Structure 1
């Protein structure tokens, strides 16, 4: 969806989304995060759009110190409770940001942006956020971006117009400084995804993993 949205539209939308149900997600980390980051030595991590905290808690359990950002206070409260239950509350800082208007300070050994899609994002907002994500990666650090490549196969009429960017479009939008980044993974991954009424189907996701050239401040 494109257009102009008033200040606070993102928080209003995502608060309603999370308040509609006691729990929105399964509480397990995104498989692409697990696949791409599992072999890295832990350092500092920034989780953008952390939702109910599954990715941040998984990272913390593996020894990462995590800054986890989301626009929804309800999602952040659930995420903090998840961290307490997992015994990693001291390893995660939960911060509330509308990433189109404010962004966590600092640089990180890992910046993860998993499925940052929003029906109330104005044109160019996602690209701007991902640009800030790249700028937040420390020398030697990793930028991981995962996003949907399209609607699920069983969606005949999309609920709203939305352009799902290709990996090359995402890379172009990042405007990375030549010679300062190494592209490690660029892939389209297909997975099975049943419809809400149980019909079999599939969905394709894009994944990009890039490393900023430089000596990492942690082990490799």
Structure 2
């Protein structure tokens, strides 16, 4: 009997088409992620931690954040629904000699679960234009954080200043830092170390200067 691959979900079909046949991102890590996590990454002064410190990148896309984390010394598990995005991340990891520090997992985060616990769980701009239970996924992600570990969530707090009503729609409401913390439902044993609204200056499609507000949350589990 011939085995047939499982049919793609609507979300996998959408994101596979979105990533298409060539890279759509710069390959660089998200600036806010770097800014918030630079003091946490394993370095020479933490050589003992560098050998074992683990990170989970949710919605890793083409791997910009995952590869940056790996370059700092983390052992990274990168999860995304789009196989072509993961293929690009894997190829870049091999090119720069980080293939032994990143494990690439193709899965739908709406249902994906793991018994592993990580020193760092990161979700950068985990938004979707198709149905996606973002709040529930992020609440589940809090259970993936090991004692003493951190959770970082970075997301859009609103549409770009140049966007008209209806543009850049997401499947879930965009929230500020206070509402993001509420959605995480962290409870006892957690400390919110960063809860900020950060404004980025970006070029609009017509070349004019525009702004975009991001929610940045960093929490530590005791």
Alignment TM-score, normalising by the size of structure 1? 0.88
Q: Which residue of 1 aligns with 2:15?
A: 14
Aligned length: 204
Match of 2:78 in 1: 68
Distance 2:206 2:84 in 1: 28
**2:107 corresponds to which of 90, 97, 101:** 97
Instruction: Give 1:147's aligned residue.
Output: 155
**Which residue of 2 is the match for residue 202 of structure 1?**
211
* C-alpha displacement of 1:105: 3.8
Contact kept in structure 1, 2:196 and 2:217, CA below 8 Å: yes
- SS state at 1:193 partner: strand
Q: Structure 2 matches for 1:11-90, cutoff 5 A?
A: 11-19=12-20, 21-42=21-42, 43-90=53-100
Aligned partners of 2:124 and 2:154 also within 8 Å: yes
- Give me the whole-angstrom Cα distance separating, in 2, the residues matched to 1:169 and 1:9: 28
| Runs of 4+ more than 6 Å apart | none
Kindly indicate whether residue 140 of structure 2 is the aligned counterpart of residue 132 of structure 1: yes
Answer yes or no: is the 8 Å Cα contact 1:14–1:72 preserved in 2: yes
Taking the aligned partners of 2:140 and 2:190, their CA distance within structure 1 comes to 15
Pairwise CA distance, 1:151: 0.4
Once residues 160 and 192 of structure 1 are traced to their aligned partners in structure 2, the CA distance between those partners, rounded to angstroms, is: 17
Q: Deviations over 1:174-201 (max 9, x none)?
A: 22222x0011000000011112231210
Could you tell me whether the CA contact under 8 Å between 1:97 and 1:104 is conserved in 2?
Answer: no
Q: Is the 8 A contact 2:41 2:69 kept in 1?
A: no
Unaligned runs of 5+ in 1: 1-6, 214-220
Name the CA shift for 1:88/1:165 in 2 (closer, same or farther; >3 Å). same
In structure 2, C-alpha distance between the alignment counterparts of 1:33 and 1:114, rounded to whole Å: 8
Distance in 2 of aligned mates of 1:197 and 1:73: 33
The CA deviation at 1:31 is 0.5
2: distance between equivalents of 1:75 and 1:152? 25
Moved more, 69-78 or 154-163: 154-163
Distance 1:210 1:60 in 2: 21
**Cα deviations across residues 95-125 of structure 1 (Å, max 9, x unaligned)?**
0111002134410000000011101124xx1
Q: State TM-score, norm by structure 2.
A: 0.88
Instruction: Point out which structure has higher relative CO (alpha carbons under 8 A, 6+ apart).
Output: 1
- Per-residue deviation, 1:161: 4.5
Give the RMSD, CA atoms, in angstroms: 1.6
Aligned pair in 2 of structure 1 residues 105, 9: CA closer, same or farther (>3 Å)?
farther
